[in-house]
Amino acid sequence: MLTVAEAEARILAHAKLRPVESVATADATGRVLREDIRTDRDLPPFDRATMDGIAIAYAPERAEFRIEGIQAAGRSAGQLADPAGCFEIMTGAMCPVGADTVVPYEDVEIANGRARIKAPVERGQYLHRQGADRKAGDVLLHAGARLRSPQIAIAVSAGLARLTVAKPPRLAVVSVGDELVEPGAPAERYQIRPSNAWGLRAALQGLGCPEVELARLPDDPSRIEAALSDLLERNDGALLSGGVSRGKYDFVPGALERLGVVVELHRVAQKPGKPMWFGIAPGDKPVFALPGNPVSTLVCFHRYVKPFLLQSLGARAELPEFIACAEAIEPHPTLTLFLPIRRDASGARLQTYHGSGDYAALGESDGFIEAPPGDSAIPAGASVRYHRWDV
């Protein structure tokens, strides 16, 4: 059986770079940028006041200045006529020609058209100088950036109404099981909701892959085969949940193989999620068949599918995250354990959890940790791999 690291390497080896598309910046949140964005001008583009107050030509010997006018944001720079003069100036306004220092209103008294300074002043204070942050032509965002709030704001600051981003795959998300009934319909005691598929779709949306076709299939090998054939035809890949273990009704691996999907791995030395299956369908389409237990499905998605998708989208690789164990952890002798945790001041606190069917335990968890196989306890304070529920 493959180790977690071997499974990850085998999966990532198949992550082919997706093509790009142009989208409105307004619709680009969560997507992966695929162009460098440069600033077309210095940042700031002019010497910019950072406080409301007065703009003066620095003169330590002088305390009183005659007000010549007001310099507002959104206006071109005025000109000081007289070194004993000043402009009232607003935050974000251009420094008037001839001035080099801003004194905030808090440090000034204004009466009869004159401003009197009542606090020490340093030359050049409260001016954010042209080009201090970036020079025209500098790269603001590199290709591979995930577009979150700061990146969207920066793209807009550069005047870009459209962005070149990765074209996400269109994915079939398939639940397999006779026991599954849609939310909204009444459920008999022996029935459950296909919650995994909805969780997977939510995760895909968070990764900038909004095009998802949800499907639900019975435990019937020929219907699974026929439906998967259509779904793979219409989509760029598939995520399946359920029907992949060793039970009498687990028909997914057989159906996929009959459809010509080449198995890359089946079973990983991990708990939960041991039966995980991954293969490549004709047309180079990835197929992940995840075990149906809800914790298994989500853990396998975050541990394997998410990095696979991010690499395909061209996202810059992120360093793995680690967290200190708030308590000692008993490893499994041969399997990597994925354990839901909650973060507290000491680090990762194990969530009370009754195994891979206990999805209710995830609601209050922050993510899961990875305990490699071993014979001795991982002591409190030791650092372990951490995967947060960030989508």
Residue of 235, 293, 336, 365 interacting with ligand AMP (CB under 6 A): 293
Considering the rule CB under 6 A, would residue 197 count as an interface residue with ligand AMP? yes
When CB distances to ligand AMP are compared, the closest residue is 292
Residue 155's nearest CA partner among 315, 318, 24, 20 is: 24
Name which position in 247, 260, 282, 381 contacts ligand AMP (CB under 6 A).
247
CA-closest candidate to residue 203, choices 286, 277, 274, 303 = 303
Q: Is 25 in the site for ligand AMP (CB under 6 A)?
A: no
Q: Whose Cβ is closer to ligand AMP: residue 245's or residue 312's?
A: 245
Stretch that binds ligand AMP, among 105-113, 192-200, 298-306, 341-349 (CB under 6 A): 192-200
What single letter denotes the amino acid at residue 279?
A: G
By CB under 5 A, which span of 152-160, 170-178, 267-275, 367-375 interacts with Mg ion?
170-178
Binding mask 118-137 for ligand AMP (x = CB under 6 A): --------------------
Name the residue nearer to Mg ion (CB basis): 241 or 365: 241
253 binds Mg ion (CB under 5 A): no
Q: Comparing C-alpha atoms, which of 26, 17, 14, 11 is closest to residue 166?
A: 17
Residue 294 sits in the site that holds Mg ion (CB under 5 A)? no
Residue 177 touches Mg ion, criterion: CB under 5 A: yes
- Stretch binding Mg ion (CB under 5 A), from 12-20, 240-248, 328-336, 373-381: 240-248
Q: Is 241 in the site for ligand AMP (CB under 6 A)?
A: yes
Q: Binding to ligand AMP (CB under 6 A): which residues in 338-357?
A: 357
Among the residue ranges 2-10, 131-139, 187-195, 383-391, the one whose residues contact ligand AMP (CB under 6 A):
187-195
Q: Is 270 in the site for ligand AMP (CB under 6 A)?
A: no
Q: By CB under 5 A, is residue 242 in contact with Mg ion?
A: yes
- Residue 101 as a binder of ligand AMP (CB under 6 A): the answer is no
- Does residue 307 touch Mg ion according to CB under 5 A? no
Q: How many residues bind ligand AMP (CB under 6 A)?
A: 21
Out of ligand AMP, Mg ion, none, which partner does residue 286 contact, by CB within 5 to 8 A per kind?
none
Residues that bind ligand AMP (CB under 6 A): 175, 177, 179-180, 192, 194-197, 241-245, 247, 250, 291-294, 357
Residues that bind Mg ion (CB under 5 A): 177, 242-243
